[in-house]
Amino acid sequence: MKISIVTAVYNREATVADAIQSVQQQTYRNIDHVIQDGGSTDNTLEIIKSREDARTVLVSEPDRGIYDALNRGMGRATGDIVGLMHSDDIFAHTNVVAQVAHAFEDPETDCVYGDLQYVAANDTNHIIRQWKSGPYNRELLRHGWMPPHPTFYVRRTVLERLGDYDTSYQIAADYDAMLRWLWTGSIRATYIPDVMVKMRVGGESNRSLCRILKKSQEDYRALRSNRVGGFRTLAKKNISKIRQFRFHK
């Protein structure tokens, strides 16, 4: 079973090497790492080229934002399974992709997901927020639940049948896609009860109050367009994040 891991990157010279190394250190070997660069103007491309191996598939070209870049990368993916590795993220350990491959040995499984840790930008061992997603129940989507996007792997046939990211969303296309795949498409999900990805804090959707408000607006549009819920579901989605925060000495 071949697994394609897609990375969309633009001017991430400080972190992209960690993301690439994290993929290359996986014990599961039947991987291709599709890197979609948006025409970086810093040293990102040089760093990628200095670390690429036979499994790296690199294209650098202008795009219309992260979701357009992800769509381009997924369109070039040749694996049976497609997942993501954001340019600021790393795998939590070297057996993550092996766990994914094992879960997909069940032909009834359409997608898998696991748990996520938000970590400090300058120290990936400092956990700020722990997202323990839990076993899948479709009805949880009505209560604001969603699987952590960076841990989500899906069969390529699902993308071909239900579509990729809707680029009319600037921030919440991942939430819209999750609802479209899981709720509208009723695909079958398997939970891996393990931390799969460490994600550095400071993501696009939380940079400012304006971005947070826009994220909520887009989340609401995704809920309504997929006929999952409305303001109550959105409120539950935001409130559920509070218990994920952790404090460490």
Superfamily of domain 3-244: Spore Coat Polysaccharide Biosynthesis Protein SpsA; Chain A (3.90.550.10)
Residue 249: per-residue pLDDT:
34
**Structure tokens of 122?**
């300058």
Residue 215: per-residue pLDDT:
92
**Structure tokens of 232?**
């109550």
The identity of residue 14, as a single letter, is: A
Element (H, E) at 231: helix 231-239
Residue 231: per-residue pLDDT:
87
Q: pTM here?
A: 0.92
Residue 248: per-residue pLDDT:
40
Which one, of 50, 65, 7, lies nearest residue 32 by Cα? 7
* Three-state SS at 147: coil
CB 150 within 8 A of CB 70: no
Domain ranges of the chain: 3-244
Residue 247: per-residue pLDDT:
44
Q: Residue with structure tokens 């960076």?
A: 150
Residue 204: per-residue pLDDT:
54
pLDDT-flagged residues of the chain (< 50): 247-249
Residue 245: per-residue pLDDT:
60
CB under 8 A, 24+ apart: contacts of 220-223? 221/169, 221/172, 221/176, 222/169, 222/172, 222/175, 222/176, 222/179, 223/179
Question: How far, in Å, CA of 205 to CA of 185, rounded?
Answer: 26
Beta bridge partners of 8: 36
